[in-house]
Amino acid sequence: MVSSANAHAAAGRRPLVVGNWKMNGTRVSCVELLAGLRAAGPFDAEVSVCCPFPYLADVALSLQGSGIGWGAQDCSQHEPGAYTGEVAAVMLAEFGCRHVIVGHSERRLHHAESDTLVADKARLALSHGLTPIVCVGETRAERDAGSTELVVKRQLSAVIHTLGHCVSQIVVAYEPVWAIGTGLTATPQQAQAVHAVLRAQLLAASTRAGEMRLLYGGSVNAGNAQELFAQPDIDGALVGGASLKVADFSAICRAASHVALGSIGKSRT
């Protein structure tokens, strides 16, 4: 049996760790955090940070030439125009963004974003050369009701319908809502079970789905990252609170680097 780490490599999936700073930070703290992250690298995994819009210029300047990417936490579903307060995907591309998060549960909850809206954002992001990180996940009530698979497949289905064969160009992040910022984390086995469902759904839509990276998010930390990354369909993490601490985020990146080097799971047969 191929080890979990080797399963990632065999499929050509380089581990990816993305920091989601949410609405946190100051210009001073951001620069200090990025300086610490640069000093902790380089990493063999791909690493990216998604910062608040006002800090994009500072982040781009701080990370230029570091090998660490940067991105945003959202984008508009519209091209530039009369949409006060919105930020267009083409604007993010001008700042050198590599990734943009769409459909985070906090956006779905606090801004009433629908599955269709999330899919439209992903489509525009792709059209401007950005890689959308599409978030899916269930609430505690939905999990308790046994609806986890139904919910995540519904959320992803809208994106597949909108993007068609281009869906293979996105990153999918499974973030159980009940584990975001709560200190609770899905067990590696629970997370892998959902990732396997998502992988199968994507494989039915694209022959390249085996190459797509699926991330886990929800209270990922230095203590649980390695076991999560050892699962065959978990290719990295979307990290919230821990991404604001250099030591914690660096440790998560190093755990993902071990996967990139094929050093997790070698003892398994």
- pLDDT tens digit sequence for 136-160: 999 999 999 999 999 999 999 999 9
Does residue 29 surpass a pLDDT of 90?
yes
Q: What share of the chain is helix, strand, coil (3-state, %, to 5)?
A: 50, 15, 40
Is 8 inside any structural domain? yes
Q: Look up residue 196 and give its amino acid.
A: A
> What sections of 95-187 are H helices per DSSP?
105-110, 115-127, 140-144, 148-163
Please give the backbone phi and psi of residue 132, each rounded to the nearest 5 degrees, phi first.
Answer: -75, 135
What pLDDT shows up at residue 184? 82
Please give the backbone phi and psi of residue 163, each rounded to the nearest 5 degrees, phi first.
Answer: -90, -25
DSSP-derived secondary structure letter, 231 = S
Does residue 269 surpass a pLDDT of 70?
no
- CA dist 147 and 133 (Å) reads 23
Cis peptide before 80 (omega within 30 of 0): no
- The single residue listed with the structure tokens 């899919």 is 119
C-alpha 158: how far from chain center: 18
Share of the chain above pLDDT 70, in %: 94
- pLDDT tens digit sequence for 196-207: 999 999 999 999
What pLDDT shows up at residue 11? 75
Is 46 inside any structural domain? yes
Is 136 inside any structural domain? yes
Mean pLDDT calculated for residue range 230-258: 97
Beta-strand ranges (E) seen in the chain are 16-20, 46-51, 69-72, 99-102, 131-136, 171-174, 214-217, 236-239
Q: Look up residue 20 and give its amino acid.
A: N
User: How would residue 267 be classed by pLDDT, with cut points 50, 70 and 90?
Assistant: very low
CATH number for the domain spanning 86: value is 3.20.20.70
Range of the domain at 27: 4-260
Is 266 inside any structural domain? no
Is 265 inside any structural domain? no
Listed residue (125, 243, 114) closest to 180, CA to CA:
243
- CA dist 269 and 267 (Å) reads 7
Is 268 inside any structural domain? no
Catalytic positions, written as ranges: 104, 175
Contact 225, 249 (CB under 8 A): no
Considering its fold, how many domains does the chain have in total?
Answer: 1
User: How would residue 9 be classed by pLDDT, with cut points 50, 70 and 90?
Assistant: low
Is 174 inside any structural domain? yes
Does residue 265 surpass a pLDDT of 50?
no
Helices (H) and strands (E) in the chain, counts: 11, 8
Is 125 inside any structural domain? yes
